[in-house]
Amino acid sequence: MSSKVTGNAVIGQSGGPTCVINQSLVGAIIEAKKHPEIQKFYGALHGVKGILNENFIDLGAQDTAALEKVANTPSAALGSVRKKPTEEECKKIVEIFKKNNIRYFFYIGGNDSAETADIINQLALKSGYDLTSFHIPKTIDNDLLVTDHCPGYGSAAKFVAMAIMGDNLDNGAIPGIKVNVIMGRHAGFLTAASALGRQHENDGPHLIYVPEIPFSKEKFIQDVKDVYNRLGRCQIAVSEGISDGKGNPIFQSGVKDAHGNVQLSGSGGLGDMLIELIKQNIHGKLRARADTFGYLQRCFPCIVSESDAEEARRVGEFAVKSAVESDLKDGSVAIKTTGLFITPLHSVAKNTRGMPRDYMNEEGNNVTEKFLAYARPLVGKLPEIGKLKI
Amino acid sequence: MSSKVTGNAVIGQSGGPTCVINQSLVGAIIEAKKHPEIQKFYGALHGVKGILNENFIDLGAQDTAALEKVANTPSAALGSVRKKPTEEECKKIVEIFKKNNIRYFFYIGGNDSAETADIINQLALKSGYDLTSFHIPKTIDNDLLVTDHCPGYGSAAKFVAMAIMGDNLDNGAIPGIKVNVIMGRHAGFLTAASALGRQHENDGPHLIYVPEIPFSKEKFIQDVKDVYNRLGRCQIAVSEGISDGKGNPIFQSGVKDAHGNVQLSGSGGLGDMLIELIKQNIHGKLRARADTFGYLQRCFPCIVSESDAEEARRVGEFAVKSAVESDLKDGSVAIKTTGLFITPLHSVAKNTRGMPRDYMNEEGNNVTEKFLAYARPLVGKLPEIGKLKI
């Protein structure tokens, strides 16, 4: 039996949206109805910003059939936010929780959101207020600590794999050098997923570069030359966050967000820069183009991994169930192949992880079979590519 | 009864690939088997380049089940080309046709491909060689003359509509100004399709700019300010080919293709430029981002309009049937709501069309109901978006 108090709950969504973040929201809403400890279940609009403004909606009053449509809709139905509340704002949030008798706080997001939930929870407990704060993981980057993988990753990875499959056919039809820039500031999981759609000999991507491995322009040029000379074309997948290994991104726009992160997406800069590099160094008549997949990767309707959607739903349910039924005052839901479990908030807050080194080959320009074996079940079945007998 | 000679046939694919161009190819292959006038049916690899190099494959030997997979695979299974053959090369092609007893030439492509087919056909007939050349239309731009719409457009338009739907939700979750650059050098049909996914009040895109209407930076800034002040966000769809109305593109990379067309895709330049323009002119704390949809628009697997796929198949069949059964020595397949018909090659060669002016509003920054009524059946059903009751 848990010793949990009865009171109200609030849930918010934070950080970059995903295709399945609403599955977690709907999972939490439906689970909450089963627990009398939770009286009113509020949704905070735009995460902590909504809490600070007491901009709440009553999630218990939502129509169940409508909720299922929401679950299958990409992006954050409650609105999201990229805000790191100040200490003063965190104290204000605790006061607002007290005023509204909010005893359960659920925050769906990445490591920054886990950190925010952790700070708020500690402030509340220190002030003698009985609060339970749970983080519900989501990130297309797949970069959270402790967990095997993150809800949101499988679906974004499916989009990337399918986009690269189509682009590989395009590049094969009109041969040239094609750079595709994929999201991933520090973690290369999403860029690595570009390899999942390979089905035929010499299918792209022929080269893959991730942020975990220092990027050398000289090596890059040589790699591209080698593939181009061999195949007459070259399809490249590169993370937006590739850096020189001394912490300097190969490209950056100069704009920073509230968490101090440099803006990498929403600009075609890196792709254009790499194309320039290729044109300056590989001579002869050459067709070289870049695409930056941008925000399409995280919110494209219907391109969803079934297992990802199902897991995102279960993670939302499990957070609510664990918050109410366990004695834990804080936690984050983590996934192992054996199932879901709870890990302390501080264990996933702040820091992130990159890909294990052995998910990439020694040269650092392609994934290994080990990565493919890891990622395949997370993404699920991909379309079959037909080829003429030539 | 037709007076057509018996001989061999060749088919090629040309220009930018689409998601359904292989439907037309497979339609032609299967139809050809029904006509004894066509003995060998060759596929030329990479269009006219393949003809010039006599790089042919035997399409009659392809496995039927494998062909169905090819039909459902994006991009050009025979390989494509962006080559405008010189007069000398066209003469050489006629010689190659004579040598191989090729009496039927099918070229799948846009207006440039129709022109190429026309030149070759005229040269052949002038030299006394009995040749029938048919153009099979494909273009995501939807810019061919005579026809009501082009195979390839509906599927690319579906991708654009879905991408914008997802991005609209993303932009609603984390409000800001978002520019989306969509393919379309001279025709705005694809960019206009961005409006097809609107389902709820204030859904984006809030502003739409097409190449047919001169683009004014001052008007653009004022439009964006107005929407942003009203909604706190603004999602914009803009054609890559927007120009100042005096023939100068707002952005250009300086690179030209074999047809003299300036390269617009494969660069994030226009989007980045418009974001700069917004940041310089709209003050205050502002989140402004750009995505350039790029090549994903034309080859994304599975995002296919059913009616587009079915029509692309029929167009391929109809070209072969008409070439063999009619007395026409040349033609291009065109579509009206009443069905398919043949129009002379010269009527679709060279020139293209833009959108009718009344598909856009008077202000030139949004589509009209007339456009939506035109495009909806070409794209078909779009996913339903769920919203919380707020």
Residues of A in contact with B57 (CB under 8 A): 388-390
Task: Report the interhelical angle of A153-173 vs A369-379 (nearest 10°).
Answer: 110
pLDDT of the residue at A350: 86
pLDDT band at residue A3 under the 50/70/90 scheme = confident
Using the beta-carbon criterion (under 8 Å), do B22 and A301 form an inter-chain contact?
no
Set A112, A141, A203, A308: catalytic member? A141
pTM of the model: 0.96
pLDDT in tens, A75-88: 999 999 998 999 99
Using the beta-carbon criterion (under 8 Å), do B166 and A74 form an inter-chain contact?
yes
| A73 → closest Cβ in B45, B167, B386 | B386
Using the beta-carbon criterion (under 8 Å), do B302 and A162 form an inter-chain contact?
yes
What are the average pLDDT values for consecutive 10-residue runs of chain B, which has 390 residues? 87 97 98 97 98 98 95 98 94 98 98 97 97 98 97 98 98 97 96 97 98 96 97 97 88 62 69 92 90 95 98 98 97 94 96 97 98 98 95
Residues with Cβ < 8 Å from A10, sequence gap 6 or more?
A41, A42, A43, A44, A51, A56, A97, A100, A102, A104, A105, A106
Residue closest to A347 by CA, chosen among A111, A38, A2, A140: A111
pLDDT of the residue at B272: 87
Q: Tell me if domain B7-151+304-348 and domain B154-301+354-379 are identical in fold.
A: yes
B141 in catalytic set: yes
**What is the third-level CATH fold of A156-301+354-379?**
Rossmann fold (3.40.50)
Using the beta-carbon criterion (under 8 Å), do B170 and A75 form an inter-chain contact?
yes
Residues of A in contact with B165 (CB under 8 A): 301
pLDDT of the residue at B248: 87
Residues of B in contact with A16 (CB under 8 A): 174
Around Cβ A252, how many Cβ atoms within 10 Å? 17
The Cα of A94 is separated from the nearest Cα of chain B by a number of Å equal to: 24
pLDDT of the residue at B266: 63
Using the beta-carbon criterion (under 8 Å), do B174 and A387 form an inter-chain contact?
no
Q: Beta strand pairing status for B56-58 and B38-44?
A: antiparallel
Architecture of the domain made up of B154-301+354-379: 3-Layer(aba) Sandwich (3.40)
Widest CA span in chain B = 74
The Cα of A296 is separated from the nearest Cα of chain B by a number of Å equal to: 6
| In the predicted structure, residue A387 carries a pLDDT above the cut 70 | yes
Using the beta-carbon criterion (under 8 Å), do A174 and B267 form an inter-chain contact?
no
Do the beta carbons of residue B178 and residue B290 sit within 8 Å? yes
pLDDT of the residue at A1: 54
Using the beta-carbon criterion (under 8 Å), do A22 and B386 form an inter-chain contact?
yes
Nearest CA in chain B to A69: B386
Peptide bond preceding A205 in cis form (omega within 30 of 0): yes
pLDDT of the residue at A58: 97
| A80 → closest Cβ in B74, B173, B299 | B173
Using the beta-carbon criterion (under 8 Å), do B173 and A290 form an inter-chain contact?
no
Residues of A in contact with B173 (CB under 8 A): 13, 17, 46, 75-76, 79-80
Residues of A in contact with B232 (CB under 8 A): none
Set B141, B143, B223, B330: catalytic member? B141
| B292 → closest Cβ in A165, A292, A386 | A292
* Reduced 3-state DSSP string for B176-230: CEEEEEECCCCCCHHHHHHHHHCCCCCCCCCEEECCCCCCCHHHHHHHHHHHHHH
Domain ranges for chain B, please list them. Answer: 7-151+304-348, 154-301+354-379
pLDDT of the residue at B283: 84
The residue among B45, B203, B296 with the most chain A CBs within 10 A of its CB, best to mutate, is B296
Helix or strand holding residue B102 (H, E): strand B102-109
A62 burial via Cβ count (<10 Å: 0-12, 13-18, 19+): buried
ipTM over 0.85: yes
What is the DSSP secondary structure assignment for residue A134, as one 8-state letter? E
Task: Report the interhelical angle of A306-325 vs A21-32 (nearest 10°).
Answer: 40
Q: Is A128 left (phi over 0), alpha (psi -120 to 50) or beta?
A: left
If DSSP codes are grouped into helix, strand and coil, which group holds residue B247? coil
pLDDT in tens, A299-316: 999 999 999 999 999 999
pLDDT band at residue A264 under the 50/70/90 scheme = low
pLDDT of the residue at A258: 57
A-B CB pairs within 8 A amount to 216
pLDDT of the residue at A255: 59
**What is the third-level CATH fold of A7-151+303-347?**
Rossmann fold (3.40.50)
pLDDT in tens, A127-163: 999 999 999 999 999 999 999 999 999 999 999 999 9
What is the DSSP secondary structure assignment for residue A362, as one 8-state letter? T
Using the beta-carbon criterion (under 8 Å), do A272 and B275 form an inter-chain contact?
no
pLDDT of the residue at A380: 98
Catalogue the long-range contacts made by B54-57 (C-beta closer than 8 Å, 24 or more residues apart): B54/B96, B54/B100, B56/B10, B56/B100, B57/A388, B57/A389, B57/A390
Widest CA span in chain A = 74
pLDDT in tens, A329-355: 999 999 998 899 999 999 999 899 999
If DSSP codes are grouped into helix, strand and coil, which group holds residue A180? strand
Peptide bond preceding B205 in cis form (omega within 30 of 0): yes
For the domain covering B7-151+304-348, report its CATH number.
Answer: 3.40.50.450
Q: Residue A339: phi, psi to the nearest 5?
A: 145, -170
pLDDT band at residue A266 under the 50/70/90 scheme = low
